[in-house]
Amino acid sequence: MIEAHDLTKRFGSKTAVAGIDFRVEPGRVTGFLGPNGAGKSTTMRMIAGLDRPSAGSVTVNGRPYRQHTAPLREVGILLDAKAVHTGRSAYKHLLAMAATHGIGRKRVREVIELAGLESVANKRVGGFSLGMGQRLGIAAALLGDPATVILDEPVNGLDPEGVRWVRTLVRGLAAEGRTVLLSSHLMSEMAQTADHLIVLGRGRVVADASVDEVIARASGTSVRVRTPNLAGLNRAIAGPDVSVSTLDDGAAVVTGLSSEQIGDAAASAGIAIHELTALSSSLEDAYLSLTADEVEYRSTSVAPTPEEVAR
Amino acid sequence: MTAATLTRQPAATIRSDARLTFGRILRSEWIKLTSLRSTVWSLALIVVLGVGLSLMIASLGSALGGEQAVADPNTVLTATTIGVGFGQLIAAVLGVLVITGEYSTGMIKSTLAAVPGRLSVLVAKSLVLFTLVTAVGFVTVFGSWAATYPIFDGQGTAAGLAEDGLAIALAGSAVYLGLVSVFAIGLGTLLRSTAGGIAAALGVMLVLDTAVSLLAIVADWVSDVTPYLFSSAGSAMAQLPFSDNPDQFGLGLLEPWQGGLVALAWTLAAFILGAIRLKRQDA
């Protein structure tokens, strides 16, 4: 369980995290989303006691991180795959980390095996690929068999097999009743892995809800309709909140009405319907619409949009 | 909440009393220090340079000097501690690297996440490095004494360890090396930069001496400061006690034990400054 109350971090005149409140509950995977500069990493660093909050507080399993007598048993953290001395072997790195808590070689070998690092365990970390670094970081996070696991961009640089490994691992950890906080920019991956989402934008929480809720809230209902009599259907369903746009292949997309309402209206007007499909938007669409106003560093499109061309 | 919450078992391979203790943090820092090649190389270099230079000086002396046929602890001491001047530079670089290497690689995040109290990490690092560097210092100077003994014996000037407190002077130079390494950890922790830390440490040990002796030409009283410089204190630690060696007064150095206290003060000052920044500022 992670709880933040009025958590604030200012760097000089810039406010990175602006008094946020949230709870990360055990037994499920909580996704931590937000554009670059939204305050995710700063928040994670404050959870881990690396940065001190300017105001407010954050606790892990009921206490500020620094007050735990066995921090590695409480929280496993992957903040940065490269938080390892490049001149040391993976095995010695894990052994040194484990030694602080009196955790022995057996457990070290166990996490090395778990992360699939057996063949490179005695090699110096400086020569590791990004993916190997991620695996080492995850192995280190799991050393103390912690009740809470925090992973910042764990799939960054992993191959498809590794991505699936992280997904299975993270789901398994949550199923065991652990608290899991996971950040990623890969929305498709997040949609498959997370149960719950906390979305940050410019240091504030812009959404704190289940994945389904976030998607549903962000997208208006839209329905794809195929009919030989589009003009008739247009008249039958016309209303103040209803809009109809035509696609290239002759189908139309109706927003503002459910598929039931459209089907009923067509039936009473005697209009044939060939297709009626409710369109749900992806998490990516939902995320982009949620954070559209919150993006700190926006890339502007150089190519003109189709509308501009039409003008 | 699911039933799984209740069934979660701690990993069987983790002992039930797994938590932070200072002894365990010491062990962790020992593993860290000894698992880096730079440590091994630096320490080996201190020994090789120290013993090598001593042998060279002793042989030169035997080639030039006439037969004295009198035990000469001062000459023996000068020859056996000649490498300490280089050794202190290596110890300083090693001390800076021990902490700035963690900042430059990002390792510090892992370290402080495991030991969020922070100060115990710095204390453990310093103790471990002090012990190791001092031990290597002992090996170097006593090794140099043993290696050069036959040469001096050939000249008739060989001095036993019990002679005029020679053993104490050799031990003093070894402890000085250990203090230098901790002094450098302090500066590295304060500056969080390898280049800055090394520049600051060498600045205090080399440049400050030159600056003070230049200033002393202009203002007479400045020369009174000289014995209290870090490296002067180090030289004081590595000389024969005054009681055994009255003619040393002329060198303008403190008594060995006073030199030890001054060197300790420099070391603690750097350590405390580093500790304050480590504790107060975000990692």
Total domain count for chain A?
Answer: 2
pLDDT at A220 over 50: yes
Indicate if A200 and A228 belong to the same structural domain.
no
Predicted confidence at residue B173, as pLDDT, reads 96
pLDDT confidence of B216, banded at 50, 70, 90? confident
Average pLDDT over residues B153-175: 88
Say if A308 falls within a structural domain: no
How many structural domains comprise chain B? Answer: 1
Range of the domain at A20: 2-213
Residue B5 included in any domain = no
Q: Is B20 on the interface with A (CB under 8 A)?
A: yes
Q: Per the domain annotation, does A197 fall within a domain?
A: yes
Q: How confident is the model at residue B243 (pLDDT cuts 50, 70, 90)?
A: low
3-class state of residue A226 by DSSP: strand
User: Highest mean pLDDT range out of A87-91, B76-80, B152-156?
Assistant: A87-91
Query: b or e along B240-265 (b: 16 or more beta carbons within 10 Å of the residue's beta carbon)?
Result: bbbeebeebeeeebbbbebbbebbbe
On whether residue A303 sits in a domain, the answer given is no
- Return the closest-CA partner of residue A130 out of A69, A165, A84, A169: A84
Nearest chain B residue to A98 by CA distance is B28
The yes-or-no verdict on residue B62 having pLDDT over 90 is no
**What is d(CA A137, CA B61) in angstroms, rounded to the nearest whole number?**
57
Query: Residue B154 pLDDT more than 70?
Result: yes
Residue in B with minimal Cα distance to A66: B116
**CA distance, residue B6 to nearest chain A CA (Å):** 8
Local structure of A211: helix, strand or coil: helix
* Cα–Cα distance for residue pair B54/B143, rounded to 1 Å: 10
- Give percent of chain B with pLDDT exceeding 70: 90
Mutation target to probe the B interface, by most B beta carbons within 10 A, among A28, A58, A61, A101 is A101
> Where would I find the H helices in A102-159?
105-114, 130-142
Which domain-ending residue is among A181, A197, A213? A213
- Percent helix, strand and coil across chain A, each to the nearest 5: 35, 25, 35
Q: What percentage of chain B reaches a pLDDT higher than 90? A: 65
Query: What is the mean predicted confidence (pLDDT) over A258-280?
Result: 87
Closest Cα in chain A, distance from residue B271 (Å): 21
Reply yes or no on whether the pLDDT at B57 is more than 80.
Answer: yes
With a cut of 80, say whether residue A145 has pLDDT above it.
yes
**Tens digit of each residue's pLDDT (9 = 90 or more) over A291-310:** 877 666 666 555 544 444 44
Q: What are phi and psi of B162, to 5 degrees?
A: -80, -15
CB contact under 8 A, B5 and A27: yes
CB B148 within 8 A of CB B72: no
- B109 interfaces chain A, CB cutoff of 8 Å: yes
Residues of A in contact with B2 (CB under 8 A): 27, 175, 177
> In this model, does residue B5 exceed pLDDT 50?
no
Looking from the CA of A37 toward its CB, the CA atoms found within 13 Å total 10
In chain B, residues 46-105 whose CB comes closer than 8 Å to chain A: 101-102, 105
Residue whose tokens read 């500020």: A64
The span from the CA of A233 to the CA of A238, in Å, is 8
* CA dist., res. B197 & res. B31, Å (int): 23
The C-alpha atoms of residue A140 and residue A100 are separated, in whole angstroms, by 13
- Residue B65 confidence (pLDDT): 58
Kindly report the nearest CA distance between residue A255 and chain B, in angstroms.
Answer: 38
What residues contact residue B91 under an 8 Å CB cut-off, 6+ apart?
Answer: B42, B46, B133, B137, B177, B178, B180, B181, B184
The region that residue B118 occupies, defined by phi over 0 for left and psi between -120 and 50 for alpha, beta otherwise, is: left
Please give, one letter per residue, the 3-state secondary structure of B16-41.
Answer: CCCCCCHHHHHHHHHHHHHCCHHHHH
Residue B41: domain span: 21-280
- Specify if B12 maps to a domain: no
Question: What pLDDT is attached to residue B176?
Answer: 97
Residue A235 and residue A205 in one domain: no
Task: Say which DSSP state B245 is in.
Answer: -
Q: What is the Cβ-side half-sphere exposure of residue B41, based on CA atoms within 13 angstroms?
A: 7
Is residue A223 within 8 Å of residue A252, measured between CB atoms? Answer: no
Same domain, A207 and A228: no
On whether both A274 and A139 belong to a single domain, the answer is: no
For residues A99 and B60, the model is more confident at: A99
Residue with tokens 């003009």: A231
Q: Which pLDDT score, from 0 to 100, does residue A297 have?
A: 62
A60 three-state secondary structure:
strand
d(CA B125, CA B276): 16
In a domain, B7, yes or no: no
Judgement on whether residues A62 and A169 belong to the same structural domain of the protein: yes
Q: Do B114 and A69 touch (CB under 8 A)?
A: no
Burial class of B273 by CB neighbour count within 10 A (0 to 12, 13 to 18, 19+): middle
Q: Could you read off the pLDDT of A87-136 as tens digits, one per residue? A: 999 999 999 999 999 999 999 999 999 999 999 999 999 999 999 999 99
The residue ranking higher by pLDDT, A58 or A280, is A58
**What angle is formed at CA B36 by the lines to CA B121 and CA B86, rounded to 5 degrees?**
95
3-state DSSP call for residue B225? coil
Between A83, A102, A110, which is nearest B13 by CB? A110
- Looking up tokens 């400050």, which residue turns up? B208
Q: Are residues A137 and A116 in the same domain?
A: yes
- pLDDT tens for A1-26 read 999 999 999 999 999 999 999 999 99
Contacts of A280 (CB under 8 A, 6+ apart): A215, A216, A219
User: Would residue A299 count as lying in a domain?
Assistant: no
Residue A239 corresponds to which tokens in the numbers above?
Answer: 């209303």
Domain harbouring A258, CATH code: 3.30.70.100
Give the closest of A75, A88, A107 to B36, CB-based. A88
Q: Given the structure tokens 């203090």, which residue do they identify?
A: B179
Average pLDDT score over residue span A206-213: 89
Q: Which residues of B touch A80 (CB under 8 A)?
A: 106, 109
CATH code of the domain containing A104 = 3.40.50.300
Q: Which residues of A touch B7 (CB under 8 A)?
A: 176-177
Mean pLDDT over each residue of chain B, to the nearest integer: 89
Q: pLDDT tens digits for B179-213?
A: 999 999 999 999 999 999 999 999 999 899 889 88
Show residues of chain A in contact with B115, CB under 8 Å: 71, 100
Q: Which run of H or of E encompasses A193?
A: helix A187-193
Q: Higher-confidence residue: A244 or B36?
A: B36
For all residues of chain A together, what is the average pLDDT? Answer: 89
Which pLDDT band, with edges at 50, 70 and 90, does A277 fall under?
A: confident
Residue A175 pLDDT class (50, 70, 90 cuts) = very high
Whether residue B15 is contained in a domain is answered as no
Q: A150 in helix, strand or coil?
A: strand
φ, ψ of residue B39 to 5 degrees: the values are: -65, -50
Please report whether residue B248 resides in a domain: yes
Q: What Cα–Cα distance (Å) separates residue B184 from each residue in A85, B134, B273?
A: 19, 14, 12
Q: Does some domain include residue A295?
A: no
Q: Touching check for B35 and chain A: CB below 8 Å?
A: yes
Tell me the C-alpha distance between B226 and B212, whole Å: 7
Provide the pLDDT for residue B245: 62
- Secondary structure E strands in A114-195: 148-152, 179-183
Q: Cβ of B112 and A50 within 8 Å?
A: yes
CB contact under 8 A, B10 and A110: no
In the numeric block, which tokens belong to residue B179?
Answer: 């203090």
What pLDDT is stored for residue A306 in this prediction?
A: 47
Asked if the structure places residue B16 within a domain, the reply is no
Asked whether residue A229 is domain-assigned, the answer is: yes
Tell me the C-alpha distance between B105 and A125, whole Å.
11
Q: How confident is the model at residue B239 (pLDDT cuts 50, 70, 90)?
A: confident
Task: Kindly give the residue spans of alpha helices, DSSP state H, lying in B115-242.
Answer: 119-155, 166-191, 194-202, 208-218, 230-237
One domain, residues A191 and A243: no
Taking CB atoms and an 8 Å cutoff, what residues of chain B touch A48? Answer: 109, 113, 116
Residue A310 has what pLDDT? 47
Given the DSSP bridges, would you call strands A204-210 and A55-60 parallel, antiparallel or unpaired?
Answer: unpaired
